[in-house]
Amino acid sequence: MNAFLELAAKRRSVRAYRPDPVPRDVLEEILEAGRRAPSACNKQPWRFLLVEKEEERRALGMAYAREWFWKAPLVLVVCVLPGEAWTRPYDGENYAMVDGALAMDHIQLAAAAAGLGTCWIGAFDPAAARQILRLPDGMKIVGMTPVGYPAAEESPRPWARRPLAETVLRPQGA
């Protein structure tokens, strides 16, 4: 298996973190990976919010009520500004959320490469999160992730993925 596929297989959704802080140089590498993600027409409509203080992480826990979420030493929130994103002219589809998802994916893979755990959180109360984070009008949250060192080594588990034969489609008649 090549190095990238090994990294993709290594990445897990971690739900228990050690309290050790994330070193600044490691955090900057992770953020740089997000910054380097592709975006439609290179618009880069994302913004990354770092929630580091315990009282702020605890408050953000009101939007996603899981103690393990805010107990990580850092919560990273990926936001987008749809007004800055590319919009497909044929149907008006705005690509901000796609661009933000690509940035989040790069961040999570970079964190896994650095030995850190993450867990993409999408099941949060967006109105509560907006208020807690004091987001400006026009900014949307793509997702949040705790970032930190996993509390325990995860045991290997078999891939719970569909086989490629069920995943790859061909146009009808091709």
Q: What is the mean pLDDT of residues 72-80?
A: 98
What is the residue-averaged pLDDT of the chain?
94
> Per-residue pLDDT for 155 more than 70?
no
Query: Hunting for tokens 């867990």 — which residue is that?
Result: 119
Q: What is the pLDDT of residue 158?
A: 62
Least confident piece of the model among 13-17, 89-93, 108-112, 159-163: 159-163
pLDDT more than 70, % of the chain:
96
- The residue among 121, 139, 138 whose CA lies nearest residue 69 is 121
Closest of 139, 30, 17 to residue 66, by C-alpha: 17
User: With 0-12 CB in 10 A as exposed, 13-18 as middle and 19+ as buried, what is 169?
Assistant: exposed
Burial of 121 (0-12, 13-18, 19+ CB in 10 A): buried
Lowest-confidence segment of 46-50, 85-89, 140-144, 157-161 by average pLDDT? 157-161
Amino acid 148 reads G
The pLDDT confidence band at residue 9, using thresholds 50, 70 and 90, is: confident
Question: Which residue, among 79, 123, 110, 109, has the nearest Cα to 97 in the 3D structure?
Answer: 79
CATH of domain 3-167: 3.40.109.10
CB 20 within 8 A of CB 52: no
pLDDT of residue 164: 85
| Residue among 36, 40, 59, 62 at smallest CA distance from 48 | 36
Three-class DSSP category at 40: helix
Backbone φ and ψ of 153, nearest 5°: -70, 130
Domain layout of the chain by residue ranges:
3-167
